[in-house]
């Protein structure tokens, strides 16, 4: 693992630990031992700390987390993958975002493929239990589950054939991005998916759980536990986020 000089003043990350794309960005920062300011921002809320509040929409009109802001330059960026690529470019983190055009091309390939494919893990299996307010139609949930299963087949038969990480012998941004979606479904977390048809994916999940920062980033899910039978209460979700924030606060994140 390599380290970098802490940014000064610290980079602001708007989000909450329960958000998958926020976890991907925070994991990269923890992996690189780079401190940041975590600005708690509730997804979808129009309240003061919400991603749909006019102040937040002025920064990111899509109203989504993660969004980052550099206090020294005022530079704002949204979309988890754009953020991770930017941070790698800025700090020279070429181990996880290689300079070689073909290797980088493969990472970019995965990061683009991820949307509407692996990302459907949340739409089909997690959001229906956690965000009851969204009333995700049954047909949409089923379609998302089918999309995820096809994507996992592609990971098992193509991306992970012959190499331990998604894009080769080295851990890359692709692995962080994919794990926050797929890993959340594991038996030790929400327990909502049977991975037995995908042995290479299972092996990769085990490898990823040994990557620096994994346990700290996943406190929120370890706290929430199995949701396969009973959807968690709002109280349980809030407590899990709180515990996660305490852990992250004790590490590299300043909480604001």
Ligand X SMILES: N[C@@H](CCC(=O)N[C@@H](CS)C(=O)NCC(=O)O)C(=O)O
Per CB under 6 A, 52 contacts ligand X: yes
Q: Which of residues 186-205 bind ligand X (CB under 6 A)?
A: none
Instruction: Choose between 46 and 158: whose C-beta lies nearer to ligand X.
Output: 46
Instruction: Choose between 51 and 247: whose C-beta lies nearer to ligand X.
Output: 51
Per CB under 6 A, 59 contacts ligand X: no
Contact pick of 13, 32, 51, 106 for ligand X (by CB under 6 A): 51
Please state the closest distance from residue 64 (CB atom) to ligand X, in A: 4
Of 14-22, 131-139, 219-227, 232-240, which part binds ligand X (CB under 6 A)?
A: 14-22
Per CB under 6 A, 21 contacts ligand X: yes
Of 62-70, 151-159, 217-225, 226-234, which part binds ligand X (CB under 6 A)?
A: 62-70
Instruction: Choose between 79 and 108: whose C-beta lies nearer to ligand X.
Output: 79
Please state the closest distance from residue 147 (CB atom) to ligand X, in A: 15
Per CB under 6 A, 167 contacts ligand X: no
Per CB under 6 A, 65 contacts ligand X: yes
Check residue 134 and give left, alpha or beta (phi > 0: left; psi -120 to 50: alpha).
alpha
Per CB under 6 A, 243 contacts ligand X: no
Please state the closest distance from residue 38 (CB atom) to ligand X, in A: 15
Per CB under 6 A, 64 contacts ligand X: yes
Per CB under 6 A, 128 contacts ligand X: no
Cβ(182)–Cβ(152) below 8 Å:
yes
Tokens of residue 176, six digits: 């962080």
Please state the closest distance from residue 58 (CB atom) to ligand X, in A: 15
Closest CA to 12 of 47, 40, 42: 40
Contacts with ligand X, residue ranges (CB under 6 A): 19-21, 43-44, 51-52, 63-66, 79-80
């Amino acid at each position: 693992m390599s380290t970098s000089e802490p940014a000064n003043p610290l980079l602001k990350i708007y989000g909450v630990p329960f958000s998958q794309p926020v976890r991907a960005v925070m994991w990269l920062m923890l992996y690189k031992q780079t401190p940041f300011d975590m600005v708690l921002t509730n997804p979808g809320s129009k309240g003061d700390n919400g991603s749909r509040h006019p102040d937040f929409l002025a920064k990111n009109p899509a109203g989504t987390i993660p969004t980052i802001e550099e206090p020294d330059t005022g530079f704002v960026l949204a979309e988890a993958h754009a953020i991770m690529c930017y941070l790698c470019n800025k700090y020279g983190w070429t181990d996880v975002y290689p300079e070689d055009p073909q290797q980088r091309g493969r990472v970019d390939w995965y990061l683009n493929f991820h949307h509407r494919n692996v990302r459907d893990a949340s739409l089909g299996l997690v959001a229906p239990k956690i965000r009851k307010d969204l009333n995700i139609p049954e047909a949409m949930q089923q379609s998302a589950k089918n999309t995820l299963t096809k994507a996992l087949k592609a990971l098992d038969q193509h991306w992970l054939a012959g190499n331990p990480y998604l894009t080769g012998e080295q851990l890359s941004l692709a692995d962080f991005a994919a794990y926050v979606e797929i890993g959340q479904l594991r038996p030790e977390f929400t327990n909502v998916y049977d991975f037995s048809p995908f042995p290479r994916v299972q092996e990769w999940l085990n490898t990823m759980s040994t990557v620096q920062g994994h346990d700290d980033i996943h406190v929120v899910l370890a706290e929430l536990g199995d949701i396969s039978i009973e959807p968690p209460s709002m109280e349980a979700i809030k407590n899990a986020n709180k515990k996660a924030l305490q852990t992250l606060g004790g590490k590299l994140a300043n909480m604001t």
